[in-house]
Amino acid sequence: MKGALRQAAFRPQLKRDPLGRNRVELQEGFVPNHLPRGLASLRAVSPIALLMGLAGCSQMARGDCAGTPIRPGEAMLRVADGRIWYKITGTGRGTPVILLHGGPGYSSFYLKPFEALGDDRPVVRYDQLGGGKSDRITDTTLFTIDHFVRELDSLRAHLGCQRVHLLGHSWGTILAFEYYRAHPEHVASLILGSAALDMPTWERNTRRLVGTLSDSAQRAIRVREAQGQFDAPDYQTALGEFYGRYVWRHPVQADLDSTFATASAAIYTYMQGPSEFTITGTLKRYDVTAQLATIRVPTLYTVGEFDEANPPTIRHFAELTPGAHVAVLAGAAHLTPWDAPEENLRIVRAFLRRSDSTTVRP
């Protein structure tokens, strides 16, 4: 998901924000999910025992980040240009990991499987400004990499974390890499899923995949792109065929519906273009392969076997990144958290555990 979603998402039949009621319920600042289950059972014990019990619950329900308690829950955080929604999951004591979703202009629904890492460390899932449960934006001066880097740094600073792991997927890998370039002192490791670090190569690879579609799909794409009619029914059908092969194979329908309903067509089109394989936006010439050798933190690349991001391209990125590891997830397309959730989680968990004890390379 650097977009990874059908253009049909740009014309949802659902309400603009079916999750709006949740947005109203959230207040700016921290909103806890629940109290530790054992708290109610402490009512009948002595004050000393109560204090000891509360201390134990605190240890269970918190993860420390540079001395600042990080508690499970969700909130709206006011940043420079609006409010972003975020959720913290888990009570583990490891270094927190922040999840960076694809798009641009989409949301973090499909990254929910990574919340299972919470028994090791706090997991921070958030929606970038413009999509998901975060505020909408229409000012195109905000549709930039720099804007999203600043937004991410605002979230990290709000959490009080000096160093975090970054797990980016698709467009989120661009954000992760650019954040590392701007703030290397705050990054403990990089997990780059289905990386989009060379957009000219991305477009060549995806155009090649278009050539594997049915004759009718290829014809619709050729004709409608020449006409600029990206909403045409036959073009939408062709997109569905492409996405069903190379973007997702086992989607979580409820989360897919939520993603469609809360996407920002404006951001995606401005930065990416009309589709995954036609790149006309500001990211068209983005290519940082020459800078991958500058990475000095542990790095993991993951990619699906049938991923539009292209496994040979991802292996090449890993070869250019000092000490990097790469994992190809069998049977998966682009959205590996949906298509191979257990294996994806196992690989990421093991990498993060190793990285917690790894120092930055000179």
Catalytic residues: 170, 307, 334
Amino acid (1-letter code) at residue 251: P
Is 87 strand, coil or helix? strand
Q: What is the total residue count of the chain?
A: 362
Neighbouring residues of 55: CB distance < 8 A, sequence distance ≥ 6:
none
Structure tokens at 259: 């993603």
User: Which secondary-structure segment (H or E) carries 173?
Assistant: helix 171-182
Is 278 strand, coil or helix? coil
CA distances from 185 to 98, 121, 134, 188, 297 (A): 15, 20, 27, 8, 10
Give me Rg for the CA atoms of the chain.
Answer: 21
Instruction: Please count the CA atoms within 13 angstroms of the CA of 308 that sit on its side-chain side.
Output: 35
Other C-beta atoms lying within 10 Å of the C-beta of residue 200: 12
The whole-angstrom separation of Cα 261 and Cα 293 is 39
The whole-angstrom separation of Cα 324 and Cα 69 is 31
In 3D space, the residue among 216, 118, 221, 109 whose CA is nearest the CA of residue 169 turns out to be: 109
